[in-house]
Amino acid sequence: MRTLGLLGGMAWPSTLAAYRTINQGIAARLGGAPSARLVLWSVDFAEVEAHQRAGAWEAAGALLADASRRLEGAGAEGLLLCTNTMHRVADAIEAATDIPLLHIADATAAAVTSAGVQRVGLLGTRFTMEQGFYRDRVAAHGIEVVVPPAPQRDAVHRIIYDELIQGRTTAASRTAYLEVIEDLAAQGCQGVIAGCTEIELLLGPEDIDLAWFPTTRLHAEHAVTWMLAPGLPR
């Protein structure tokens, strides 16, 4: 089994979900009582969020690059960034180490393609929905990516930062998200990417009629496959 380094804390509930899902996946694949070989570095999300708000992506990238080097030094053979938004600085992380970064957009796009979905809605932070680092990477797999209009993007973003990253969910926010998804369906979307790991705290596949792509689970399942298949290309 390969040792995987987790870049976490952005925010901690999504890191917890990734840690749990990876360990469950390892146990399911191997049987018995195994657990995953993981090294975790959890950053202070307040510092990361401040960089996000200031648009200081270079500083955010330096922060995560430093954490990545520490994980490599601790024995990690690959990296999993436990967040969608901070893949905005994936290039800085990859440049800082000699080990692979398992990109969340690639794992998600593979699942969308496998489901036969060609047009998909994307929900996430404002950065993930509006900037090209995520949308373009998914689209490169031949998938059409649709984001909500600006007022809905603002609402989706606000709920993530004001509620979900703190582990809080409300009926009003759930209703707001479902209305956004209904509008995406009306635009011909066949599925929805939960492009912020905390969204999975609010909604699940049972809540919508479209195909549901929970990025935390998909990313973690991809990681399990990578950890247990040392002969696969890195």
Say whether pLDDT at 231 is over 70: no
Cα 57 to Cα 9, 50, 127: the distances in Å are 17, 10, 11
Same domain, 86 and 162: no
**Which CATH number does the domain housing residue 63 bear?**
3.40.50.1860
Cα 109 to Cα 79, 83, 115, 201: the distances in Å are 19, 16, 10, 21
Same domain, 144 and 224: no
pLDDT digits (tens, 9 = 90+) for 62-93: 999 999 999 999 999 999 999 999 999 999 99
Same domain, 97 and 123: no
Classify the C-alpha dihedral 150-134-41-31 as positive or negative.
positive
Task: Give the separation between CA 54 and CA 37, rounded to whole angstroms.
Answer: 36
Same domain, 99 and 116: no
Same domain, 211 and 221: no
The residues annotated as belonging to the active site are: 83, 196
- Domain with 51 in it: 4-103+217-228
Structural domain contains residue 9: yes
Same domain, 221 and 195: no
Rg (CA), the chain: 17
Same domain, 114 and 80: no
Same domain, 211 and 223: no
Same domain, 223 and 201: no
pLDDT digits (tens, 9 = 90+) for 154-202: 999 999 999 988 888 899 999 999 999 999 999 999 999 999 988 988 8
**Cβ(173)–Cβ(202) below 8 Å:** yes
pLDDT band at 233 (very low <50, low <70, confident <90, very high): very low
Structural domain contains residue 40: yes
Same domain, 56 and 113: no
Same domain, 124 and 208: yes
Structural domain contains residue 92: yes
Element (H, E) at 8: strand 4-8
**Cβ(108)–Cβ(192) below 8 Å:** no
> Which pLDDT score is estimated for 76?
97
Say whether pLDDT at 220 is over 80: yes
Same domain, 109 and 155: yes
Task: For the chain, give the mean pLDDT.
Answer: 93
Query: How many domains are there within the chain?
Result: 2
More confident residue, 234 or 136: 136
Cα 41 to Cα 1, 65, 69: the distances in Å are 20, 12, 10
